[in-house]
Amino acid sequence: MVELMLTLVLQRLLWSLLVFALVAVVIFVLLELLPGDAATAYLGRTATPARTAQLRERLGLDRPAVVRFAAWTSGVLRGDFGTSLARRAPVATFLWVRLRNSLLLGLLATLISVPLALLLGVLAGLTRDRWPDLLLSLLALFSISLPEFVIGTLLIFSFSLHFTLLPAVTLVDAAAPLAELLPYTVLPTATLTLMLSGYLLSLMRTSIIDALRSEHVQMARLKGLPPLRVLLWHALPGALAPVVTASAMIIAWIIGNLVVVEAVFNYPGIGTLALNAIQDRDLPMVQAIVLVLAGCHLLINLLADLLTLALNPQLRTLRMR
Amino acid sequence: MNACSLQIDQLSLGYRTQSGQVLPVVRAVSLTLGAGETLGLVGESGCGKSTLGMALLGHLRSGNALLGGRVLVGGADVFQLERGALARLRGQQVAFVPQNASQALTPTMRLGAQATEALTLHLGMDLVAAQRQVLDLFERLRLPQAAALLRRYPHELSGGQQQRVVLAMALVRRPAWLILDEPTTGLDVITQAHVLQLLQTITREQGTGMLYISHDLEVVAQVSARVAVMYAGELVEVAPVAMLFADPNHPYTSGLLAALPHVSGQRLPAPIPGQPPALHEISPTCAFAPRCSFVTRQCHAHAPPLGPSAGPLGLAEPLLPGTVPAASIHLVRCHHAQHVATVRSSARANGAGPPALPPSSQTATHEPLLVLHEVRVSYARPSLIERVRRIPAAPATVDNLSLVVHRGETLALVGESGSGKTTLLRAIAGLKAVEAGRMSFGATDLMRSVDQRPHEVRRAIQIVFQNPDASLNPRQTIAQILAQPLRLYFGLTSARCRERAGALLERVRLAPYYLERFPGQLSGGEKQRVAIARAFAAEPELVLCDEVISALDVSVQSAVLELLNALQAEQRVAYLFITHNLAVVRAIADRVAVLYHGRLCEVGPVAGLAEPPWHPYTATLLGATGVLAAATRPMLARDRADPAPPARGCPFQRRCPHHLGPICDEESPPWQELVTGRRICCHLKL
């Protein structure tokens, strides 16, 4: 049993690594296919043949693509993502600190929204078509349909301008200690939480309603079990499995939306970094950010896979026979 | 009231529609179940029997409401109990066994936890003691490796095992009453026979009373002392088993009995015309009147009461409560009960009943139509690694199968689920590739997939599937469904198509206005008729019938069988009729082939099946169907089917009660021919 689980986990891990390697190749090839290269992109209108050639030589762009890919990957493996063109410093120095800030945001939002949404979703499912359910479903609908910049702006308007309780934009340096950064995370976290919770709540609600209608829950009731035991032992585990898978997808999707949320609050995360890098046409930086975000995606999905495996004995024991 | 009885008193349950209309599902049912008494509740799907069963535990299905009456268990009304008391009632006094064990077990919980939770919660037992009790029952119910089973999850068990776990879960609480809702309907005949036997032994020992709900009169008769027949939410007849079978007083009961295909008599079962009413169509007087052959004006004017029958107990004096033991009273709800009884007994005296036609023998010939020679079909696809390491492939699903279907005859193919019946059918239809052997249809070679077969052969071989819900396109009208083969095979114009489709419907006894309907608007029996009409639209020579009646109600089943027989007489078509029910075989087939694990055990004329010798597997099947006396019923060496056929020797080796030793395990048994023309594949000296 333990061995089986271990093989399954290892298998998933290997797959994730393989996909990650593939992503690296795809990013590199895509950038190769773009007209021009890092040098022409960076210099833009100021490009003269001489300056372009000079920059190319400095960046090593005159080498064949295969050699450059090998150099890039070996650098990435050592934690060296090359040099930022706009900031004239190693990409890694910006990347990790910004990633830390974004992860803080994502982690806070996940830790608050997932338990909250699951709890409220179960509550809505249990009080189906009565007022708690109607209220919660309506709220969820609102948060799903409002775009993140509207939510963010509304929050700024009410909590920073109307009541001056919280800062509207981040005023500290990206590399500031977490404790200093914390007050500035409140509103962005709230925005992300609202967005995440809406989907998860409605998902959990449907899932628990289905579970409560299932024959095995009816059977548990007919065995004379107390309602709480029926809910916790017979209905919830099965109802959670699809929600866990979906929540991973939603959280991964939120990573993409970090760009917008961070931009609204001018929060020094990887999203604003990406935005700047694109504006500066800083290709080494863009390349590194895309790779790191893809890695986050894969990691979250891997975790979700493992959680689903733990929640669903049918998948866990499939290979036993 | 009696403290140890379960009493249903004028119970009415139903739906309230949004317009305020009340649709009754259960109508004023009164029944009393004494301690340790066994009562069977019989009725067709939708008659309200399951709703009634759950109401005995104070549970109403969603949308259902209590419209009146009460259920008293030990004197307390279950619908008045507060939550805790109701939970105790369900945990200790009345236990429920559902139809669908695979759905009723919580997939995320280990079986041990599920089976013991009620014990530890309600009876205050500690976990170890509870587990010991569960284990004990698992063993008594002949579940393999009972100890390991406690740690298993439901999906790791076969259907029969799941059903036994659910049964154990209920029995372990030693309830006073067990409510069983079709507990064996999903099981194979052999597994069903085992489960019923074990159920009887254990309940008798524990003194448990039973309400056994089923659509199957024969199963009910096996396990209960009394039977209640339900129609459209009402009890129409209640009587001791023997009395009900010998002397049914209600036309519906009488019809149900006549509709049962019977292994001992080779005649077609008689269908009940029409179909059960939908909830909103139930007549306030006699609900059965529209389908009844005894109907008079009185039936439409006055609702008949449920009263004592004119049977041997007599109606001469008014029945006083207490004068006759409740268990022997015969109650019936019909104005013409006496008339029904006399008509039936005189019909029986004349040996009449439905015509005892030796079915379709008029059309059977000796001209081979479909010939299979040593056919092998396999689903195994060895992976590259298995091929490199030379791991032997799993034995084929169907192997070494030789069979001939003659023009105009009905060949029944019998076997349990998983015996490869459907696989073989798919191979003949060209939907699954045949790996080895030969297969021909008339002069045409059939060894290619359906899209490569000649147009003519595709037309000549048609198939009718088990489940008409799945085989008819719900978005097409019946006219469109029937037009497809007509246009494809005969290139008819739209106008001609309609004309032919109408004629086809007429031949399957459906009115022409059905052409405009969608499958969803038809009953199960009607849908299957449409599926049959579609097959016959192609004017086939061979129709493959895959369990065509097993999804239908008893009273409708026989109508479909009758239809198939009539169509065969008209058109000299041959049927390859797949079924798991030997009784149906006797009713419709000329010859029978018994299949076990995709290998033939026995082939021959149906008539010879009445007498021994049989192949040991055929004998078990016959035993499970209740043909053989209980004493001579063979028990299997193992009651669990193997997941895969053995690689060598006789396919039945692991479960055979007459296992001879290594010869059965190693050598393929020889074919032995009997005087009756039957051929049996066995090492035994017959």
Summarize pLDDT for B422-453 with one digit per residue, the tens: 889 989 999 888 888 999 998 889 888 888 89
**Least confident piece of the model among A285-299, B82-96, B102-116, B323-337:** B323-337
Query: Which residues of chain A make contact with B168, given a CB cutoff of 8 A?
Result: none
In which band, very low, low, confident or very high, does the pLDDT at B39 lie, cut at 50, 70 and 90? very high
A306 closest CA partner among A239, A248, A236, A238: A248
In which band, very low, low, confident or very high, does the pLDDT at A252 lie, cut at 50, 70 and 90? confident
B565 closest CA partner among B602, B600, B590: B590
Nearest CA of chain B to the CA of A241: how many Å? 10
**CB–CB of B156 and A321 under 8 A?**
yes
Nearest CA of chain A to the CA of B207: how many Å? 20
Query: Is residue B673 classed as helix, strand or coil in its secondary structure?
Result: strand
Q: Which amino acid is at B136?
A: D
For A215, the closest of B88, B103, B121 (CB atoms) is: B103
Examine the pLDDT at B359 and tell me if it is beyond 60: no
**CB–CB of A238 and B106 under 8 A?**
yes
**CB–CB of A222 and B117 under 8 A?**
no
Q: Which two tokens stand for residue A96?
A: 């990790």
In which band, very low, low, confident or very high, does the pLDDT at B352 lie, cut at 50, 70 and 90? very low
Query: Which residues of chain A make contact with B86, given a CB cutoff of 8 A?
Result: 224
**Least confident piece of the model among A111-120, B358-367, B501-510, B560-569:** B358-367
Query: Which residues of chain A make contact with B106, given a CB cutoff of 8 A?
Result: 216-217, 219-220, 233-234, 237-238
Q: In whole angstroms, what is the distance from residue B618 CA to residue B493 CA?
A: 50
Q: In whole angstroms, what is the distance from residue A91 CA to residue A102 CA?
A: 16
Query: Which residues of chain A make contact with B118, given a CB cutoff of 8 A?
Result: 223-225
Contact present, B320 and B234 (Cβ < 8 Å)? no
- Residue B236 is predicted with a pLDDT of 93
Q: Which two tokens stand for residue B367?
A: 């001209």
Contact present, A285 and A277 (Cβ < 8 Å)? yes
In which band, very low, low, confident or very high, does the pLDDT at B382 lie, cut at 50, 70 and 90? low
**CB–CB of B100 and A215 under 8 A?**
yes
Examine the pLDDT at B72 and tell me if it is beyond 50: yes
Query: Which residues of chain B make contact with A238, given a CB cutoff of 8 A?
Result: 106-108
A124 to A117, A131, B61: CA distances (angstroms): 10, 9, 21
- Residue B383 is predicted with a pLDDT of 64
C-alpha A308, offset from chain centre: 18
How confident is the model over B112-141, as a mean pLDDT? 90
Q: Which two tokens stand for residue B468?
A: 């008409």
For A222, the closest of B96, B106, B107 (CB atoms) is: B96
List all residues of chain A from 162 to 221 with a beta carbon under 8 Å from chain B: 213-221
Q: Which two tokens stand for residue A261?
A: 């949320």
Q: Which two tokens stand for residue B479?
A: 């006219």
A102 closest CA partner among A213, A261, A221: A261
Query: Is residue B336 classed as helix, strand or coil in its secondary structure?
Result: coil
> DSSP label at A160?
I
State percent of chain A over pLDDT 70.
96
A321 to A223, A317, B101, B638, B650: CA distances (angstroms): 31, 8, 21, 20, 24
Examine the pLDDT at B68 and tell me if it is beyond 60: yes
pTM of whole model > 0.95?
no
